[in-house]
Amino acid sequence: MAGFATHPDGDHVLWHAEFGDAPRYGTARCPASSRDLLAKADWKTLVVEGLPPELADDVPMELFARITGLPAGTEYVPWDGPRARIAEHPAHAPGHAALLIEERGVLVAGDMLSDVLVPMFGDTAGPIGDYPAGLRALEAVADDVEVPGHGSVGADQIRARIDLDRAYVHALRDDPRIGPSAKPGWECPGDLHRGQAAWLG
């Protein structure tokens, strides 16, 4: 068994003691990003604030974000399970990567390509600017795969999902109130939210 964190957001680097000593991998940038958080004196408080209150007491904090970064360019998760290709890309978070498990027809896309959440911008290199590049990277590995996770995108829906997300991102990029000046942590103004149901399709 092995774990793989698609990205360093708090809800994606949790672990449970019952998983034992299985390695926990991520891209090289994944633990590098967590290190900044763990260096803060109040990091536990910050993590708990981001968790659903009913779960916070059950999360073993000593196991939080203990991720081993794989060297840049690592092609596959080093484990003896189904071959899992690592597709690192910019967009939602630093070091975000999808896993393509071809023999199962599955793309584990972390917080990308959801049909219940709108695209969320969080990569410090340029939140909106890099998102289309992330979508292009996923498009290159999205042949005949389904995307489980936040919602469920079937193999016959994935191209449409990518197109919808791209249209959403382009609409924000081209909005004069937002555009290239958007910053990490930026939140969508209320009147833009009204269009989200349509974007989610």
Q: Which of residues 161-180 bind Zn ion (CB under 5 A)?
A: none
Q: How far is the CB of 88 from Zn ion (least distance, A)?
A: 15
123 touching Zn ion, by CB under 5 A: no
Q: Which amino acid is at 80?
A: D
Q: How far is the CB of 13 from Zn ion (least distance, A)?
A: 10
Crossing angle between the packed helical segments 131-139 and 158-173, to the nearest 10 degrees: 170
Bridge partners of residue 100, in order along the sequence: 85, 107
Nearest 5°: the CA angle 83, 88, 91 is 140
Q: How far is the CB of 96 from Zn ion (least distance, A)?
A: 8
Within the chain, what is the greatest distance between any pair of CA atoms? 50
Q: How far is the CB of 144 from Zn ion (least distance, A)?
A: 25
9 touching Zn ion, by CB under 5 A: yes
Annotate each residue in 76-115 with x if it binds Zn ion (CB under 5 A) or - if it does not, as one string: -----------------------------------x----
Q: Which is nearer to Zn ion, 69 or 95 (CB)?
A: 95
Helix (H, G, I), strand (E, B) or coil at 59: coil
Q: Which of residues 43-62 bind Zn ion (CB under 5 A)?
A: none
Q: How many residues bind Zn ion (CB under 5 A)?
A: 2
φ, ψ dihedrals at 69, nearest 5°: -75, 130
Q: Which helix (H) or strand (E) holds 187?
A: none
